[in-house]
Amino acid sequence: MPLWLFAFFAIIAVVSALGVILQRHPVHCLLALALALLDIGALFIGLGAEALGFLQIIIYVGAIMVLFLFVIWLLNLQREGLATERIGLKVIGTLAAAALGAELCALLVHAGPAPAAPLPVDYGSLRSLARLLFANYLVAFEVTSALLLAAMVGAIGLARRIPGTNAVAAPPSDVADRLRSAAG
Amino acid sequence: MTPLNYFVVLSAVLFVIGVAGVLLRRNVIVMFMSIELMLNAVNLAFVAFGRQLGNAEGQVIVFFAITVAAAEAAVGLGIIIAVFRNRMTLNADELKLLRW
C-alpha cells in the first residue's frame, strides 16, 4: 500500500471516528461509523487481506450497521440536547482517554518493528483463509456457529414484546416472586 | 510500502477515540458504536501484524472477531430495545439498576 493511499484512508478513518463520538444525532453517528468501518475494510485490502476486507464490508457495513440503523429507527431516537450537566466528568473522561493515548504512544515509540517476513503467494486469498479455517480452526469455526445460533435466539427472546402490552417479556410472576424472596 | 508502525499508530488512535466515546457519551447506542470502533481498531492491528509476520492466522482471528461482534451486536441491541421499552430512556446515567 503506497504511503499516500495510506494517508488518505487514515485521515478518513480518524475524521469519521471523531464524527462517531462528536455528533449528536444517533443516525449521523452511525453513518460516520459505517464510513470508518468501510475505510478499515479498505485498509485490510491494502494490507493484502482482500478476502477479509470484503468480508468486513459485507458483514460489518452491510449487516451490523443496518441492524443498528433499524434499532435507531425502531426506538425513534432524536438529536440529543447538549449535555451541560456533569462537565467535570467529561473533563475527567477526556483526560483519561488522552492518558491512554499517551501511554500507547510511549509504548509504540520504544517498540521496534519485526523484520518483514516474505509473504506466501496466495496471502490474503479466500483459499488460504478457508484452508486455515476448515483445518486448523475447525473446532472454533463450529463453536462459532453455535454462538451465532445462541445469539439469535437470545436476541429474539430479549426483544420480544408480550402480546397486547407494550412491555417486553418479564420473568413469569412465580419466578419473580421466588427471586424477590431469595433476595429479601 | 507503508511501514507497519503507521498502521499500529492508526489502530491506537482509533482505539483511543473509541475509549473517549465510551467515556464521554451518555447515549447507550453511541457507547455501543464506540465499542464497535474499538473492536475494529484492534482488528486492524491484527491484520497489520499478520502481514508483517507473513502468516494468515491474524486474518483468521479477525474473522472470528467479526463473527463474535455480529453476535454481540444482536444481543446488545436486543438488550437496548428491552431496556428502552421498560424505561423509555437510553441515557446511561439513568440506567443504574440491573433489574426491572
**Nearest CA among A178, A32, A91 for reference residue B20:** A91
Query: Residue A30: its pLDDT value, please?
Result: 95
CATH assignment at residue B71:
1.10.287.3510
pLDDT digits (tens, 9 = 90+) for B56-83: 888 999 999 999 999 999 999 998 888 8
Using CB atoms and an 8 Å cut-off, which of residues 37-56 of chain A contact chain B?
37, 40, 43-44, 46-49, 51-52, 55-56
Site from B85, B87, B91 to mutate, A interface, most A CB atoms within 10 angstroms: B85
| Local confidence band at B92 (pLDDT 50, 70, 90 cut-offs) | confident
* Structural domain range at position B79: 4-87
The residues that bridge with A168 in the sheet, in sequence order, are: A161
pLDDT digits (tens, 9 = 90+) for A38-66: 999 999 999 989 999 999 999 999 999 99
Task: Give, for all 184 residues of chain A, the pLDDT tens digit.
Answer: 889 999 999 999 999 999 999 998 999 999 999 999 999 999 999 998 999 999 999 999 999 999 999 999 988 888 777 666 678 888 888 899 999 988 988 888 777 767 777 888 888 888 888 988 999 999 999 999 999 999 999 998 888 876 666 555 555 555 556 656 665 5
Give the residue, B95 or B22, on which the prediction is more confident. Answer: B22
To which residue does cell 467479526 refer?
Answer: B66
pTM of the model as a whole: 0.86
Chain length of chain A? 184
Averaged pLDDT of chain B: 88
Using CB atoms and an 8 Å cut-off, which of residues 65-84 of chain B contact chain A?
66-75, 77-82, 84
Query: Residue B10: its pLDDT value, please?
Result: 93
Contacting residues of B for A144, CB less than 8 Å apart: 64, 67-68
One-letter amino acid for residue A170 of the chain: A
Task: Give chain B's domain count.
Answer: 1
Q: Is residue B97 part of a domain?
A: no
Q: Is residue B26 part of a domain?
A: yes
Q: Is residue B58 part of a domain?
A: yes
Return the CA Rg of chain A. Answer: 23
- The 10 Å Cβ neighbour count of residue B76 is 22
CB A76 within 8 A of CB B3: no
Site from A6, A11, A20 to mutate, B interface, most B CB atoms within 10 angstroms: A20
The residue extents of the domains of chain A are 3-121, 137-184
Residue B13 has pLDDT above 60, yes or no: yes
Question: Is A3-121 a domain of CATH 3.90.1170.50?
Answer: no
The three-class DSSP label of residue B87 is: helix
Q: Is residue B94 part of a domain?
A: no
Query: Residue A162: its pLDDT value, please?
Result: 66
Query: Residue A88: its pLDDT value, please?
Result: 83
